[in-house]
Structures are given as structure tokens and as C-alpha cells.
Amino acid sequence: MVDVILGLQWGDEGKGKIVDYFASDYDVIARFQGGPNAGHTLYVGPENKKLVLHQIPSGVFHQGTVNLIGNGVVLDPVTLKREADAVAAFGVDLKKNLFISERTNLIVPTHRALDKAAELAKGNEKIGSTLKGIGPAYMDKTGRNALRVGDLLQKNFTTSYIKLRLKHQKLLDNYNFNEDISAWEEEFFEAIEFLKTLNIVNGEYFINDRINKGQKVLAEGAQGSMLDIDFGTFPFVTSSNTISAGVCNGLGVAPQKIREVIGVSKAYCTRVGAGPFPTELEDEVGEKLRKIGNEFGATTGRPRRCGWMDLVALQYACMLNGVTQLVITKADVLDAFEELSICTSYKVNGKETSEIPFQMNNSLIEPQYKSFAGWQLETSQIREEKNLPDAMKSYIDFINKNLTAKVRYISNGPGRDQIVKIQ
């Protein structure tokens, strides 16, 4: 049996915290897509130290849980090694609790160079990529050129690497990209020696054997549904299927094995990078959300764009993912607001719609809002539903009435225990 936790917006919904909260109920935590573009924040150890995970699943701090990097992930060995050092400081030994599918595709230094060159060439139309090499790595996967983790164990790995590098060099020459990447390559070769010492497994048998034995698997999504390569705000998206369907091809599990789909959404919206964002607030209200919510990217440090909750986009995500339970995060960030708004529909070319249009262009979409009174009370200490302010209950009721999934948890602070279960 597989449950899934994934983001329903444009990423950074607080998936890391929620995975960490649920992890102890599971035997395996598995990443199924994305790569080091992800930044999942956890608070760990007796001193609650902040740690951002990019490449490894957010279950590594739970004893008795094993973690899998699935075939759908693109893996940068350099980031992985850095992360291994970071978690080792908390006594976590990845040699014991991390498994990596041999079918996982590798991010090589020239992928990062190509990402940078391609973004530069796009000029004003740039996507705002994290520049971690994600797009070029997935292009090599679908283009059938990629190197995979299993290839590291073959004798001819260096020859295959040089062949791929030469292909990339031609593309880089076309972009007139001439930065020296020899230091990146040095790091890469050091890191793959480390990677070879980890548990490289046949991921699809690894996971299905465990499922057949009755173990519980939690699939951890990266990014969010509105960044999905097929259903997101293309071309301002990432290069993988971030929705629940991605679990099947990103881990090798059949659809009927998936049980709960736990969708995570903030109580408002954010987006980092370029692209459509209908409810964006480019005023002092947006600035206030950014400041109180500390909305700065966990991977790149960039300020996140902020806006009101968007039920059109959220219902779209519920539909695509088959969400069975909703978790609303960062509800505490709204504590200080006198008035709140929720977008209930869009007006596109003067016509009201509750559907996401093909071209999700900000200038074409006029969001329609319903306003709510804020609760103006500090909520981050509340642990029980009955103690939540009435105004917050009304806000959540409205969300429940307008979506096909119900809110089951409200997260009211970054800490593991800052969560309220809703009956």
C-alpha cells in the first residue's frame, strides 16, 4: 500500500514538514520525481535545527524507516554527498537507511551548464529555473542519452560520460557558453565514488517486495501540481510529472496500490520563479505575506511571489491528483490580517469560469474574490480543533464546501508538533 504526500500549488507548500510529521507511520519513504530543485525544510535534533533537504527523502531522521530515491528522480551526486555530510552531523548514516534505484538518471556538470546557458538565452522569457540541471537532465532521459546510477557500476562509465559530455559541449558552443566547469567535474567524480558506496538497488522490486509483505510506503512529491510538465503553467513549469500519476512511473508501482493522496496547500499562495500567478499581490498585502511567512526560496533564497488562495487552481489540483485529504499549511501566517480573500473563479475575456484555461496568462485572467474577516489572534500554540478561532473555522469551511477533498489537518507553525487535526 502506498500513500502520497504532494504539493498542490507552485511548490514550497510545506511538504517536508508534513512528510516528517507522518513518516513514523511508514516503513519506506520514497521520492518519485524532481531533483535538487526541491528544497524541503525540516527541524531536527534536540535543538530543532533547521535543515533543508534537496535530494534525499524527508524520512531519513526516523529510525525504522528506510528511504528510497526512485527511478523518476534526477540525481546530482554532488548535492547528495553534501547532504549526506549534513545529515551525518545528526547521526544519520545514509549507508544504512538510503536506497537508490539503479534506473535513477544522473545530473552531470554539463547539465547544470546547459541549464544556465538555456536560461540566459531566453532573456526576458526565462523560466526562473533553479539552475540545478533539471530540464537538461530530463531532456537526456526522454532523448535516450542519459547516464543512470546503475551505469556507475559498469566498467565503461568514464567513456560513456565523455561521450555525453562531448554531445553537451556542442550544445554549449552553440550558446557561446565558455565558463570553466572543471571544478564542477572534479566534485562530480569525487561524489560518484561516494555514491557507489551507497545501496544501489533495483527500485521497482525493492518497493514491490515490501508492498507485498504488507509494508507501508509514503511517496514524497517535490515541486507542486501547477509546476507539472503536462498540467502546470507551461512553459513555466519543471520537467517532471509532479502529480500522483508520477508515483507510478517514478517508482514502478501500479495505480491500484495507491491509497491516500494527501495534498498540501498553503492557506494562501506563493510562487518562486517566473510565470502566471492569477492571485498574485504586488502590493503591501503581498509584502506582508512574504514578511510574516518568511517567503524566501529554500533552494535559491529568492523572494517568493505571494497572493491569496486560489480555489480554481486548488480544485484543478484536487482533480488531477485524486486528493483524498487536504493539509493546509501556514495558517498562522494569516493571524495578523484584518481581512482575507479567496479566489472563487476567474473571469477570462469577460466570461466567468471555474476552469484553468490553456493559456494561464495573468493579463487575461481576472480573479473573482470572496472576502473573509481575519481572526486576528495568535494561533501557533493551538493543538485542538475546538480551540481554533471561529473566523478560521469559517475560512476552512468555505474551502471544504468548494473542493472535492476535505481539510484534515491545519499546520500552524514550522515545528513538527504545530499541527491541528480536523475531524
**Which residues have a catalytic role annotated?**
12, 40
Q: Is 298 in the site for Mg ion (CB under 5 A)?
A: yes
259 Cβ partners below 8 Å, 6+ apart? 1, 2, 3, 324
Picking from 359, 396, 395, the residue whose alpha carbon sits closest to that of residue 278 is: 359
- Residue from the set 36, 39, 77, 293 that interacts with Mg ion by CB under 5 A: 39
Restricting to residues 30-59, name those near ligand IMO by CB under 6 A.
Answer: 37-40
Q: Is 17 in the site for ligand GDP (CB under 6 A)?
A: yes
Whether the Cβ atoms of residue 141 and residue 105 lie closer than 8 Å to each other: yes
What is the spatial distance between Cα 417 and Cα 381, in angstroms, rounded to a whole number? Answer: 10
- Residue from the set 34, 39, 133, 203 that interacts with ligand GDP by CB under 6 A: 39
What is the spatial distance between Cα 106 and Cα 148, in angstroms, rounded to a whole number? Answer: 5
Place of cell 478560521: 392
- Residue from the set 272, 333, 392, 420 that interacts with ligand IMO by CB under 6 A: 272
Place of cell 536560461: 119
Picking from 63, 21, 66, the residue whose alpha carbon sits closest to that of residue 40 is: 21
The residue among 71 and 238 lying less far from ligand IMO, judged by its C-beta, is 238
- Residue from the set 6, 7, 12, 76 that interacts with Mg ion by CB under 5 A: 12
Q: Smallest distance, Å, CB 289 to ligand GDP? A: 11
Whether the Cβ atoms of residue 268 and residue 281 lie closer than 8 Å to each other: no
Q: Smallest distance, Å, CB 73 to ligand IMO? A: 12
Phi, psi of 184 (to 5 degrees): -60, -40
Place of cell 526512485: 70
Whether the Cβ atoms of residue 298 and residue 12 lie closer than 8 Å to each other: yes
- Residue from the set 16, 72, 246, 273 that interacts with ligand GDP by CB under 6 A: 16
Q: Is 36 in the site for ligand GDP (CB under 6 A)?
A: no
Per-residue CA distances from 170 to 163, 173, 176, 182 (Å): 11, 5, 10, 17
Q: Is 109 in the site for ligand IMO (CB under 6 A)?
A: no
What is the spatial distance between Cα 92 and Cα 339, in angstroms, rounded to a whole number? Answer: 45
Phi, psi of 166 (to 5 degrees): -65, -40
- Residue from the set 273, 286, 293, 413 that interacts with ligand IMO by CB under 6 A: 273
The residue among 15 and 290 lying less far from ligand GDP, judged by its C-beta, is 15
Q: Smallest distance, Å, CB 6 to ligand GDP? A: 9
Q: Which stretch binds ligand GDP (CB under 6 A): 189-197, 254-262, 361-369, 408-416?
A: 408-416
- Residue from the set 9, 14, 33, 337 that interacts with ligand GDP by CB under 6 A: 14
- Interface contacts to ligand GDP, rule CB under 6 A: 7, 11-17, 39-41, 298, 329-330, 332-333, 411-414
Residue ranges that bind ligand IMO, judged by CB under 6 A: 7, 10-12, 37-40, 127-130, 132, 134-135, 222-224, 227, 238, 272-273, 298
